[in-house]
A and B are shown apart, each in its own frame.
Chain A
């Protein structure tokens, strides 16, 4: 709560500083104009105002952030030093519990129950320390505000290049923002590589990458039993579901794209294209529910009627629904690519007497093939990384099988199952999620890069 007041105060200071800077430079400007001085203001008053506001608040805010990160740690250390001996020797988690209780007592969150003497004393001390820390913070922040305001206000003069300075600040903000994307990638790679290496201290990489059994055996009892972490059943399940999905999506998506790009009357195209693209915007959990409740039982019934044993939750169910989901990826990308094939190729073929379908099959499609395979690869990377459909509809049983009618499990499902929500990242059972994640990341990265390269090459070819 108190922190909010500080932030509000800083905002108020910011407005005030802006007005001050603007007023001073405005006065200077009118004086220069009155004196018919040849020297003009370099920057407009609002640039000066912004610069003063920047110096008055941003350093102070940085101090505020640093202090609010540092002070609680400091206070805790001092309270721990103050605790009776038997408590100060407690280990991490127990000590944290004690500290949390003390802070609750200090903030009047605890009602009822009897408080021990040391608890009251510690809470008292804790509160004092907190107040002191707050006071120091206030002092530091006010000093930074005063200093920044004073120095920058004094510097306001006609020759000051306030606009250039502000532009540098803006550019810095822009650069920082664009590095966030890089930082995210680095964060993904680092966090996953770190945890994966820790996982490999429990399980050897060969057992992981070439093992044919997946049976992680939740380590609720420390029997020393390791469990088996073979990737292959999960990889085969992932590929099986993704292949079913592509078998559904490629013909439907590609033929739709061809029809809409080459044959369809304009009105049909304008209606059908956005409707098909709706499929790409539906949340995957909705597809998962649809697969589980409608498609699965339907396919199982269909299997029964022709004498096939199809499980309601199987690779087929998940694959078919996932195929529906990626139809628009294939259709709209192929559509773009088909319309990029130059008209001269078509005209040449038609001029030699080929029918429209012959032109498409023998001239347009071969010319568009690189681009379309890029689109297929992008769709495949979607299918491999898709989670909610397979969580709900693939049956979650890690079998090494090529039969799409059986229940399978995929890498994404297993990641969700292994990271059950307790943030205990010390057992191989939860660390394996990161090894799986890294494998998945690498697979999709390769697919994406190859696809992007192919598509880019194709574009250059016909540009």
Chain B
């Protein structure tokens, strides 16, 4: 185009036809370029959408099978010959708690010596017709070790089960699950298999007979993490840890963020100091999350001596991280409320505080709620700062208080992806990711729903 116009300057009248000619000659290539550009744009939108789809399909196809685990329904006879312990001590009227506790602990130690494997073995042997005594040591590879602790806990809670037969569903070991689901190459030679040939045959045989079934398992949700019994490793500890942290975020970051936003938007004079605060908050929102972890390690753990890997420290760090998000969301909501509301209230004699708290704030609640929920969702998925305050250690119990050692959902995902038994944990990690994504998705959906339901357009 530029070319033709420069050419035409000397004598436009005589060469006019050639300009038009040139333009129409170039028109075809220009239209082709137009189309190409448009298609390029469409292609990149489609690629971006495809990436979202690949990510989700990938995670879900890997993770969903892990919600079902192979398990066995067994009639466990609590044989008094095997569970040979005295009666559970009861606190006597004249006995101090200290003495009673000693006796109780002695009893529990004695219970710890009981061979609960034998109970499980006795229940399995009738199901295996060509079983020989010499093969007993292989039997323990069928059922995951966490189940014998569960049996011991049953006796501990209620000693009257001794002598009874209970029908229980026990999880099989992680390796059996991997074998039966085909997550390991079945044609690998013996030395590369995780299980001896005999146990593999048993597993196949029991599965074919229907003794081992692939059932939906609640172990993933109900159990804490475990290293010895991989099949029953679960997210309970991480759930509670994350829950404590979110409580702290909700009760610290949201009120403080809203208060800060109200001050900056409604009360603060426009001067150098508030300018600094404003720039500072915008920058704080863009500071990498790992820096907040360093802050937590240096300030909360090193100076204030708060406990390592405790949800209370994690909650504080995440609160500081969420604060700018809440402030920014609240400020933009407050800014969107028309000044006429304020003028009306002030004109009728309300004070500044009354105007804000009686008239402006109620109208801003939907926006504040939406922003806060999104902030909490972001905090729920954050991993890096938690690693720096010591949350990468293995914790096999559910934290009782926010001051106990704990993990969090994203940290549990980080820990599981590093487990050596990749065949089992790749699926289980994906399942944990699905749980995390579902939680975040429902928080986001809640935010969108609230916005739709409560939003006021001015």
Task: Point out residues on A near B: beta carbons under 8 Å.
Answer: 108, 111-112, 163-164, 166-167, 170-171, 173-175, 177-182, 184-185, 187-188, 191-192, 194-195, 251-253, 255-256, 258-260, 262-264, 268, 272, 275-276, 278-279, 281-286, 288-290, 292-294, 324, 327, 331, 353-358, 360-361, 378, 381-382, 384-388, 391-392, 412, 415-416, 419, 421, 423, 425, 433-434, 437, 440-441, 444-445, 448-449, 452
Report whether B286 and A381 are in contact in the complex, using a CB–CB cutoff of 8 Å: yes
B400 within 8 A of partner (CB): no
Report whether A416 and B384 are in contact in the complex, using a CB–CB cutoff of 8 Å: yes
Report whether B327 and A285 are in contact in the complex, using a CB–CB cutoff of 8 Å: no
Complex CA gap A179/B298 in Å reads 20
Closest 5 CB pairs of A and B: A385-B288, A259-B41, A283-B381, A177-B259, A191-B298
Give 27 CB contacts A-B under 8 Å. A174-B259, A174-B262, A177-B257, A181-B281, A181-B327, A182-B276, A184-B284, A184-B320, A191-B294, A255-B41, A259-B44, A259-B45, A263-B41, A276-B49, A282-B55, A283-B436, A285-B410, A286-B55, A286-B413, A286-B433, A289-B430, A353-B1, A355-B30, A355-B33, A355-B34, A385-B290, A421-B308
For A195, what are the chain B residues with a Cβ–Cβ distance below 8 Å? 298
Measured CB to CB, the nearest residue on chain B to A171 is: B267
Complex CA gap A262/B303 in Å reads 54
B66 within 8 A of partner (CB): no
Measured CB to CB, the nearest residue on chain B to A415 is: B290
- Which among A111, A171, A357, A382 is the interface contact of B105 at CB below 8 angstroms? A111
For A441, what are the chain B residues with a Cβ–Cβ distance below 8 Å? 287-288, 291
Q: How far is the CB of B36 from chain A (nearest CB, A)?
A: 8
For B49, what are the chain A residues with a Cβ–Cβ distance below 8 Å? 272, 275-276
Task: Point out residues on B near A: beta carbons under 8 Å.
Answer: 1, 30-31, 33-34, 37-38, 40-45, 47-49, 51-52, 55, 58-59, 62, 97-98, 101-102, 105, 255-257, 259-264, 267-268, 276-277, 279-284, 286-295, 297-299, 301-303, 308-309, 320, 323-324, 327, 351-353, 357, 377-378, 380-384, 387-388, 390, 392-393, 410, 413-414, 417, 426, 429-430, 433, 436-437, 440, 444
Measured CB to CB, the nearest residue on chain B to A111 is: B101
For B51, what are the chain A residues with a Cβ–Cβ distance below 8 Å? 279, 324, 327
Q: How far is the CB of A175 from chain B (nearest CB, A)?
A: 6
Q: Which of A108, A260, A281, A392 has the most CB of B within 10 A?
A: A281
Report whether B260 and A174 are in contact in the complex, using a CB–CB cutoff of 8 Å: yes
Complex CA gap A111/B268 in Å reads 58
Report whether A361 and B37 are in contact in the complex, using a CB–CB cutoff of 8 Å: yes
Report whether A178 and B97 are in contact in the complex, using a CB–CB cutoff of 8 Å: no
Complex CA gap A331/B1 in Å reads 31
- Which among A292, A360, A448 is the interface contact of B417 at CB below 8 angstroms? A292
Measured CB to CB, the nearest residue on chain A to B298 is: A191
For B377, what are the chain A residues with a Cβ–Cβ distance below 8 Å? 281
For A174, what are the chain B residues with a Cβ–Cβ distance below 8 Å? 259-260, 262-263, 267
- Which among B256, B259, B298 is the interface contact of A192 at CB below 8 angstroms? B298
Q: How far is the CB of B274 from chain A (nearest CB, A)?
A: 9
Q: Which of B286, B299, B357 has the most CB of A within 10 A?
A: B286
Complex CA gap A449/B263 in Å reads 24
Measured CB to CB, the nearest residue on chain A to B282 is: A452
Report whether B384 and A182 are in contact in the complex, using a CB–CB cutoff of 8 Å: no
For B320, what are the chain A residues with a Cβ–Cβ distance below 8 Å? 184
For B295, what are the chain A residues with a Cβ–Cβ distance below 8 Å? 184, 187-188, 191-192
Measured CB to CB, the nearest residue on chain B to A163 is: B351
Measured CB to CB, the nearest residue on chain A to B262 is: A174
Report whether A181 and B280 are in contact in the complex, using a CB–CB cutoff of 8 Å: yes
Report whether B288 and A423 are in contact in the complex, using a CB–CB cutoff of 8 Å: no
Task: Take A290-B58, A416-B388, A441-B287 as given contacts and tell me if A177 and B256 are in contact as well, using a CB distance cutoff of 8 Å.
Answer: yes
Measured CB to CB, the nearest residue on chain A to B47 is: A252
Q: How far is the CB of A89 from chain B (nearest CB, A)?
A: 23
Measured CB to CB, the nearest residue on chain A to B62 is: A293
For B287, what are the chain A residues with a Cβ–Cβ distance below 8 Å? 188, 385, 441, 444-445
Report whether A180 and B48 are in contact in the complex, using a CB–CB cutoff of 8 Å: no
Measured CB to CB, the nearest residue on chain B to A453 is: B279
For B387, what are the chain A residues with a Cβ–Cβ distance below 8 Å? 416
* Chain A facing B: main interface SS: helix
Report whether B40 and A385 are in contact in the complex, using a CB–CB cutoff of 8 Å: no
Complex CA gap A188/B292 in Å reads 8
Q: How far is the CB of B433 from chain A (nearest CB, A)?
A: 5
For A387, what are the chain B residues with a Cβ–Cβ distance below 8 Å? 288-290, 383-384
Report whether A388 and B291 are in contact in the complex, using a CB–CB cutoff of 8 Å: no
Report whether A111 and B102 are in contact in the complex, using a CB–CB cutoff of 8 Å: yes
Report whether A178 and B298 are in contact in the complex, using a CB–CB cutoff of 8 Å: no
Report whether B97 and A108 are in contact in the complex, using a CB–CB cutoff of 8 Å: yes
Q: Which of B44, B380, B436 has the most CB of A within 10 A?
A: B44
For A288, what are the chain B residues with a Cβ–Cβ distance below 8 Å? 414, 417
Q: How far is the CB of A394 from chain B (nearest CB, A)?
A: 14
Complex CA gap A281/B440 in Å reads 8
Given A188-B295, A421-B308, A452-B283, output 13 extra A-B contacts at Cβ < 8 Å: A111-B101, A170-B357, A185-B284, A195-B298, A259-B42, A272-B48, A279-B51, A289-B413, A331-B48, A353-B1, A385-B290, A419-B297, A425-B302
For A272, what are the chain B residues with a Cβ–Cβ distance below 8 Å? 45, 48-49
Report whether A293 and B426 are in contact in the complex, using a CB–CB cutoff of 8 Å: yes
For A187, what are the chain B residues with a Cβ–Cβ distance below 8 Å? 295, 299
Report whether B256 and A180 are in contact in the complex, using a CB–CB cutoff of 8 Å: yes
For B286, what are the chain A residues with a Cβ–Cβ distance below 8 Å? 378, 381-382, 444, 448
Report whether B263 and A111 are in contact in the complex, using a CB–CB cutoff of 8 Å: no
Measured CB to CB, the nearest residue on chain B to A436 is: B294
Task: Take A191-B299, A355-B34, A416-B388 as given contacts and tell me if A290 and B383 are in contact as well, using a CB distance cutoff of 8 Å.
Answer: no
For B45, what are the chain A residues with a Cβ–Cβ distance below 8 Å? 255-256, 259-260, 264, 268, 272, 276
For A292, what are the chain B residues with a Cβ–Cβ distance below 8 Å? 417
Task: Take A178-B259, A276-B49, A423-B390 as given contacts and tell me if A357 and B37 are in contact as well, using a CB distance cutoff of 8 Å.
Answer: yes
Complex CA gap A166/B303 in Å reads 35
Measured CB to CB, the nearest residue on chain A to B301 is: A423
For B298, what are the chain A residues with a Cβ–Cβ distance below 8 Å? 191-192, 194-195, 425, 434
For A163, what are the chain B residues with a Cβ–Cβ distance below 8 Å? 351
Report whether A294 and B323 are in contact in the complex, using a CB–CB cutoff of 8 Å: no
Complex CA gap A170/B361 in Å reads 14
Complex CA gap A96/B263 in Å reads 44
For B353, what are the chain A residues with a Cβ–Cβ distance below 8 Å? 166-167, 170-171
Report whether A256 and B48 are in contact in the complex, using a CB–CB cutoff of 8 Å: yes
Report whether A412 and B290 are in contact in the complex, using a CB–CB cutoff of 8 Å: yes
Task: Take A272-B45, A354-B1, A360-B37 as given contacts and tell me if A178 and B263 are in contact as well, using a CB distance cutoff of 8 Å.
Answer: yes
For B263, what are the chain A residues with a Cβ–Cβ distance below 8 Å? 171, 174-175, 177-178
Q: How far is the CB of A79 from chain B (nearest CB, A)?
A: 18
Measured CB to CB, the nearest residue on chain B to A279 is: B52
Complex CA gap A433/B290 in Å reads 11
Measured CB to CB, the nearest residue on chain A to B41 is: A259
Q: How far is the CB of B176 from chain A (nearest CB, A)?
A: 23
Q: Which of B302, B383, B429 has the most CB of A within 10 A?
A: B383
Report whether A255 and B260 are in contact in the complex, using a CB–CB cutoff of 8 Å: no
- Which among B55, B105, B259 is the interface contact of A290 at CB below 8 angstroms? B55
Report whether B291 and A188 are in contact in the complex, using a CB–CB cutoff of 8 Å: yes
Report whether B440 and A283 are in contact in the complex, using a CB–CB cutoff of 8 Å: yes
Task: Take A276-B49, A278-B52 as given contacts and tell me if A434 and B290 are in contact as well, using a CB distance cutoff of 8 Å.
Answer: no
Q: How far is the CB of A405 from chain B (nearest CB, A)?
A: 21
Q: Which of B55, B97, B261, B280 has the most CB of A within 10 A?
A: B55
